[in-house]
Amino acid sequence: MSLLKIEIYTKRERNQAISDLVDAVNSSDGWVSGHQLFSNVAASIAFEIPYEGLTSFLSKLEEGDFTPHVAEAPLPKSKEIKGTIAITFIHEEPDMKRDVPAFG
C-alpha cells in the first residue's frame, strides 16, 4: 500500500468541512478508517481509497472549495492507497479545549 498525505487549510465551518471531506472520500469508492479532533483548530482524517479513485477524489476536493496540498504522493502502481488529511481551521474563535483522560 502507498501513503498519501494531504494538508488542507480552510476558513470553512469545521463540522461542514469535515462532512464534505468524508463525502469526497466515500464518493470516490474509499472509506474513512479513523479520525482525530484537535480542539477547534485542527483535525485529522485517515482513509483508504482504491488507486483508480484518486483522480476523482482530488477533483472532488477542489470542487468542494478545498485546496489540497499533497505532502507525499503514492506510488503509481499501488492497488489501494492509505491516506491522511490534516485539516487546519482558520478562524478567530477562542480555542476550544478538550479534556484528556488520565492514562498510565
pLDDT at 51: 86
Q: In the structure, what pLDDT confidence band is assigned to residue 1 with cuts at 50, 70 and 90?
A: low
Across the strands, what pairs with 8? 87
| pTM confidence score | 0.82
Q: CB of 83 within 8 A of CB of 2?
A: no
Q: What is the distance between the alpha carbons of residues 49 and 4, in angstroms, rounded to a whole number?
A: 10
Check whether 46 has a pLDDT greater than 80.
yes
